Chain A
Amino acid sequence: MIQQSSTSAAQAGGVAAPPPTGTVRLTINGQQHTLQIAPWTTLLDALREYVHLTGTKKGCDHGQCGACTVLVNGKRINSCLSLAVMHEDHDITTIEGLGSQENLHPLQQAFIDHDAFQCGYCTPGQICSAQGLINEGRAHTEEEIKEHMSGNLCRCGAYAGILNAVKEVVDSKSSESRR
């Protein structure tokens, strides 16, 4: 796909050509991927345009909406605000790595049960964010979940369903841990 030569950093007609691409190795959902990408390719664009894992969504490209949330070493981040090259040694999990249509993750099932989405575009980010929240182990009450899920916008306004879905899974996790 990339047809730039590695020496194209030279001046081109008065406009500087961008720096060359390089090889980046990423571990996504347990699989190794070797990509030839620009040093400023975001993790989001790497996932969507080079690995074709389009479950991770682009809603603003500025870290304002949360649609691109993925888990890096279990921690939720906005993949649009992070460069792919920074994650060579990391364990990246996207929505495709959480569950499949045949084997849904409990959060995915809860989102369906509570109708926690309409258009579905913010949904992968909401679910990854919720998993990140559970990993953080700090949200137990409704108020805490609402606060800590507020980095993920939903223009359809499915917040009531999202809250109920996340709460159901958080509650089941905490009852598991009490046993």
Chain B
Amino acid sequence: MSTTNYIGKPTSRVDGPAKVTGAATYAAEFHVPNMAYGWVVSSPIAKGRITKVHADEVLAIPGVLEVFSHENVPGLAWFDRNYKDDVAPGGSPFRPLHEDKIKFNQQPIALVVAETLELARYASSVLRIDYEEEAHETDIEAKRDEGFEPGRGKSGWMPPPPPRGNPDQAWEEAEHHIEHEYVHGAQHHNPMEMYGATVEWRGDKKLTVYDKTQGVVNVQNYLTKIFGLSKDDCRVINQYMGGGFGSGLRPQYSVFLAVLASLELKRSVRVTLTRQQMFSFGHRPHTLQYVKLGTNPDGTLAAIQHHALHETSQFEEYTENVVNWSGMLYQCENVKLGYQLAKLDVFTPQDMRAPGAATGSFALEVAMDEMAAAAGIDPIDFRIRNYAEEDQNAGKPFSSKRLRDCYHQGAAKFGWDQRNPQPRSMRKGNRLVGYGMAGGVWDATQKKAAAKATLTADGKLLVSSATADIGTGTYTIMTQIAAETLGLPLEAVTFKLGDTDMPEAPVQGGSWTAASVGSAVKSVCEAIGEKLLKLAQKMEGSPLKGASIDEVEFVNGQIRLRQDPDNAVVIRDVLQASGETKLETDTSATPNLLKQATHSMHSHNAVFVEVEVDEEFGTVHVTRVLNAVAAGRILNPKTARSQVLGSIVWGISMALMEETVMDHQFGRYMNHNYSEYHIPVQADINDIEVLFVEEEDDVVNPLGVKGVGEIGLLGVAAAITNAVYHATGKRVRDLPIYLDKLL
């Protein structure tokens, strides 16, 4: 086996040394000379209008430079389309400081700019603003009967398929049936790094924008359309991002305000949000779901009905795929799916890790557990009896689906056979023990992406693409792909990202980066390889003369004949012999639609959970989690495992802790800080493990990779809920499972 085969190896993060030493620089950390600081003032009311901003009072403080509000913001782009970012939902995007109207609590209504951070913060704290309040509605419970079907939605959203079979009659006539409502409240992404931007004024309306974002190209498009800048004058950079989880898919108001202030003051400006303000934009929407399932005497599903209603803002129609999964995860001839939105006086929800699917899989997979119990069938056996061999929503076969192996391998490794099916039957001292399982499905998507490669005469390869690494491992896997494709040692390869001067890549989301950018990196390195071969064949006495690209391989710093590996040339010698100082090319990779059109492409998982519940106190301890994932080829089992481990922690959080609580009297999220918005700490996490089921797929993309950023979250909250039921006999259908729900 050769040494430059890196794909599939547990390579440590190439950006690791920078991150553990503090050398990795995040958006609000770039030091630029003569910088001013902006501080955002947030609305204390949920709806109404601003009648007066008493800017003059704080402008009198020495060192305060400007107070930006709707009263003095210059004329910017007029049309909605200028404010629509690449992943915006339908409707009319929010425009910061555009008008006196207040549409949601914590709306940014002013930016105070001063010479120092401390001054900007102080001045914003004493800035008086007068309001006229109007009645607001922030409670979806009040809008149960006002749901509507959304219009076109955002890209990637699919309206539910039309009903199939006779779902009402089939449910009525089923041997066993259940129907229940499932609820979770709003959740906020809360990445550790707060949103912020450092805008460097390079003179004459030329800006370098260091922004926290999952897509520099999206931010550049947004800014240039609004502020009338040319792309050359608006370079956007993000090399490191302190977590995203979807919150950085759309440009945030921090970058808008920093750019506005920089252009107006003709000066570099930094704007950073507070943790409280991290609750002032997108969130996973509060969702009400209703599921009806029925089974036949043989344990097959007779009917599936799944309806979801969730909040959106008054100005945009945020959509996510909540119910569609219920028409494809199991075989069923009678299916009815419904999806509605309700408008509230809140900011527009935003994609949050496995958007829609995390919500839908919670309801479906708890309902499946309830159905299995009602029919007296083991939950795994029940799922296998209803295994979908094809995607009935699309009427297409799966490009690959090793979910059955997830069930079998996961159950064996977890020790599912130790489970006594009777609830409250297992205990350890004063703790009730429960085993639960669930699973899920996520899209395997490839988007168009581009990359550039430069091989220099010293044998070093530089590859770049304007993609992102929000902690996913992009730097590492792209380095691995490039090194293996050209047979170079890992140390000779540098991958750069997050700069609009680089070839275009889509926002990092949807688990598509490995597939999309990975394919582009592979393709551009192959193009370099072809150039190299041509040069190698011109060398005197070249052993590669007459060989086609398919007859050679790039391994261990050499190009050699596959059939006769001793006939080889050293790659570094090729460039030096040719007299070229470098080889450079760029290319883009697009999905093979012809191949993909005939298939449904998805990753799958099955999650197994053990909980211990204190019988007297109702405290839930998640003692073991095993997440079995089938997601195509795993490029780097070390970083991929970390993504799934992180998803398990997210699932524990969703099941037991996370909820943004709205005080409807004020229309304001009350627990908008890390102390009251609970997420797991080190002591909450016990034995968690990941099992990757081997899966080959030559349809999804040339690398056979499906992505692992979201699939691991699916089923975790449901499996915990099901384990809690098994431990206690109590079925909780509204998350999070606080201990009072078990007493």
Are A155 and B275 also in contact (CB < 8 A) when A12-B61, A101-B23 are?
no
Q: Is the CB of B62 within 8 A of A8?
A: yes
| A residues less than 8 Å from B275 (CB atoms) | 59-62, 64-65
Q: B679 near A: Cβ within 8 Å?
A: yes
Q: Is the CB of A146 within 8 A of B240?
A: no
Give the nearest-CB partner of A49 in chain B.
B117
Q: Is the CB of B472 within 8 A of A18?
A: no
Contact pick for B645, options A18, A121, A150, A161, CB 8 Å: A161
| A residues less than 8 Å from B20 (CB atoms) | 95, 99, 104, 108-109, 111-112, 117, 120, 123-124, 127
Q: A27 near B: Cβ within 8 Å?
A: no
CB distance from B249 to the nearest CB of A (A): 15
Give the nearest-CB partner of B677 in chain A.
A64
A59 and B195 alpha carbons, distance in the complex (Å): 10
Write the A14-53 contact mask toward B (1 if CB under 8 angstroms, else 0): 1111100000000000000000011011000100110011
Give the nearest-CB partner of B270 in chain A.
A49
CB distance from A133 to the nearest CB of B (A): 11
Task: Count chain B residues whose beta carbon lies closer than 8 angstroms to a beta carbon of A.
Answer: 71
| B residues less than 8 Å from A154 (CB atoms) | 192, 682
Q: B63 near A: Cβ within 8 Å?
A: yes
A interface SS class: loop
Q: B22 near A: Cβ within 8 Å?
A: yes
CB distance from A76 to the nearest CB of B (A): 14
A2 and B725 alpha carbons, distance in the complex (Å): 61
Q: Which of B62, B241, B272, B470 has the most CB of A within 10 A?
A: B62
Q: A88 near B: Cβ within 8 Å?
A: no
Please tell me which stretch of B312-320, B434-442, B636-644 contacts chain A, meaning at least 4 of its Cβ atoms lie within 8 angstroms of it: B636-644
Q: Is the CB of B645 within 8 A of A157?
A: yes
B interface SS class: loop
Q: Which B37-60 residues have C-beta < 8 A from chain A?
A: 56-60
Are A157 and B649 also in contact (CB < 8 A) when A95-B21, A111-B16 are?
yes
Q: Is the CB of B674 within 8 A of A157?
A: no
Q: Is the CB of B62 within 8 A of A3?
A: yes
| B residues less than 8 Å from A104 (CB atoms) | 17, 20-21
Give the nearest-CB partner of B189 in chain A.
A155
| B residues less than 8 Å from A157 (CB atoms) | 645-650, 680, 685
Please tell me which stretch of B118-126, B549-557, B565-573, B590-598 contacts chain A, meaning at least 4 of its Cβ atoms lie within 8 angstroms of it: B118-126
Give the nearest-CB partner of A99 in chain B.
B21
| B residues less than 8 Å from A170 (CB atoms) | none
CB distance from B599 to the nearest CB of A (A): 31
Are A156 and B646 also in contact (CB < 8 A) when A60-B673, A115-B639 are?
yes
Q: Which of B31, B646, B650 has the most CB of A within 10 A?
A: B646
A38 and B122 alpha carbons, distance in the complex (Å): 11
Q: Is the CB of A108 within 8 A of B21?
A: yes
Further 20 A-B residue pairs, CB within 8 A, beyond A13-B58, A41-B118: A13-B57, A14-B60, A38-B118, A45-B118, A48-B29, A49-B116, A49-B117, A53-B22, A55-B21, A117-B471, A118-B243, A118-B646, A119-B244, A120-B471, A122-B192, A122-B242, A149-B682, A152-B681, A155-B243, A157-B685
Closest 6 CB pairs of A and B: A55-B22, A157-B649, A121-B242, A13-B60, A120-B19, A119-B471
